[in-house]
């Protein structure tokens, strides 16, 4: 059976060589401990992690490790992570270490459901081909009543968005109960479909404890939900698996990565987005936030985001693709930078960049669509704005922004 490989970037402690630090990591995550033990026999050591390669990179070192497939319980993401992202972050021989990527062999990927819809399936639901999808987040993220939320959703829908979602902190609070919110929003989206002929998805946040998430999903579906949202790092990968594996859940899953910065932000320590993206794809997410080339949360190099998106969109073990979502500080003046840097097979999601438009939410949604249309047609936003007043207003307020390097 092919083994699992993991790549780490690390800085060894000053009194430790890179090779010693790498071998300490391999031992800690497999059969070793801090001292010699008599129970570590040769039959046990067949499960040792192996340092396959080690090379200097920048101020640190990049190492690729092979972990024997037998170490892993097939289909158990929690256990996979305990091996590739366990105690190693606290090892004394390492000043810092970052899990950069994982290579999951077919046998360890096979037990998972993968996305039910994937990028292609979501496009079929909405009748699109190669254009980017435009999404928005209900703003303010908390505080609106169900009817107020539904009004904002209607305005966004008639303006031209493809996706409307709850923000990560809104679940089932008393000021906006989930069942009432979903029923109210879906009723207004039915109105919008009558007005425009377009279907718009509403990703309702059902994040909760593991033993309740299916029940919460059922409440959302009973009230008309056509997409579900999960905060994966706070709810756990198993929350996605439970929903993807249940035959009664026949809507796409939108995956938010709230809390990811605690893992991904430090380029020297933690867990990069790439392994998270791969595990979300295995578990069954249909859409996943991966970051922006020009937005407000700009700590990740654009090349790294491209690689993360490719991990979602490229061929992989026959598993369906995942729609990358670019979100965080976007507005119409940043659309060209996003699409130019990251491609058009993605969701462009703007909250304040739609609702903060001088003409209101519907005008903000039109401006985002106009900016995307301009890019597809090979026209600058400034030129397109000459006969598209909503885009012109947005550019006047926010200007245009380039992508980061």
Active site residues: 139, 256
Tokens 């035959």, residue located: 247
Assign 205 to helix, strand or coil.
Answer: strand
**C-alpha 174 chain-centroid distance:** 28
Strands 133-137 and 347-350: parallel
Is residue 365 within 8 A of residue 372, CB to CB? The reply is no
Q: Two tokens at 122?
A: 């979501």
In DSSP terms, which residues pair with 4 in a beta bridge? Answer: 67
Tokens 């000053």, residue located: 14
Put residue 198 in one of left, alpha, beta given phi > 0 → left and psi -120 to 50 → alpha: beta
Exposure on the CB side of residue 177, measured as CA atoms within 13 A:
6
Q: Two tokens at 270?
A: 């933690």
**C-alpha 378 chain-centroid distance:** 28
Q: Two tokens at 36?
A: 């010699």
Is residue 336 within 8 A of residue 375, CB to CB? The reply is yes
Handedness of CA 38, 42, 44, 45 (dihedral sign): positive
Is residue 335 within 8 A of residue 368, CB to CB? The reply is yes
Is residue 214 within 8 A of residue 243, CB to CB? The reply is yes
Put residue 35 in one of left, alpha, beta given phi > 0 → left and psi -120 to 50 → alpha: beta
Question: CB under 8 Å to 73, separation ≥6 — which residues?
Answer: 79
CA distance 203 to 222: 14
Is residue 78 within 8 A of residue 284, CB to CB? The reply is no
In DSSP terms, which residues pair with 325 in a beta bridge? Answer: 289, 347
CA distance 282 to 298: 27
User: Of the candidates 255, 3, 23, 275, which has an alpha carbon nearest to the alpha carbon of residue 116?
Assistant: 255
């Amino acid at each position: 059976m092919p083994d699992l490989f993991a790549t780490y970037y690390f800085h060894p402690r000053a009194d430790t060589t890179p090779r010693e630090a790498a071998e300490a990591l391999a031992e800690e995550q497999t059969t070793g401990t801090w001292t010699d033990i008599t129970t570590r026999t040769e039959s046990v050591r067949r499960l040792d992690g192996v340092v396959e390669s080690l090379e200097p990179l920048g101020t640190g070192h990049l190492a690729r490790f092979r972990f024997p497939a037998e170490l892993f319980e097939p289909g158990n993401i929690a256990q996979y992570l305990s091996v590739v992202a366990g105690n190693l972050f606290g090892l004394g021989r390492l000043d810092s270490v970052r899990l950069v990527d994982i290579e999951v062999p077919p046998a360890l990927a096979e037990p998972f459901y993968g996305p039910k819809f994937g990028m292609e399936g979501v496009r079929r639901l909405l009748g699109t081909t190669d254009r980017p999808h435009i999404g928005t987040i209900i703003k303010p993220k908390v505080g609106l009543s169900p009817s107020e939320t539904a009004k904002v959703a209607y305005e966004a829908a008639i303006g031209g968005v493809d996706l409307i979602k709850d923000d990560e902190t809104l679940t089932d609070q008393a000021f906006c109960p989930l069942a009432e919110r979903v029923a109210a929003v879906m009723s207004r989206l039915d109105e919008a479909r009558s007005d425009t002929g377009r279907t718009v998805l509403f990703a309702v946040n059902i994040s909760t404890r593991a033993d309740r998430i299916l029940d919460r999903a059922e409440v959302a579906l009973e009230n008309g939900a056509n997409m579900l949202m999960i905060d994966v790092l706070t709810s756990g990968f198993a929350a996605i698996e439970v929903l993807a594996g249940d035959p009664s859940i026949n809507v796409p899953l939108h995956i938010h990565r709230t809390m990811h910065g605690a893992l991904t932000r430090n380029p020297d320590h933690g867990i990069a987005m790439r392994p998270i993206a791969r595990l979300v794809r295995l578990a069954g997410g249909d859409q996943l936030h991966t970051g922006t080339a020009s937005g407000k949360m700009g700590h990740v190099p654009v090349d790294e985001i491209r690689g993360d998106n490719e991990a979602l969109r490229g061929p992989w073990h026959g598993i369906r693709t995942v729609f990358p979502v670019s979100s965080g500080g976007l507005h119409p003046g940043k659309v060209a930078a996003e699409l130019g840097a990251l491609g058009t097979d993605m969701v462009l999601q703007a909250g304040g960049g739609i609702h903060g438009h001088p003409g209101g939410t519907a005008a903000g949604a039109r401006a985002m669509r106009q900016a995307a249309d301009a890019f597809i047609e090979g026209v600058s936003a400034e030129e397109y704005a000459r006969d598209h007043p909503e885009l012109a207003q947005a550019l006047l307020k926010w200007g245009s922004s380039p992508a980061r390097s």
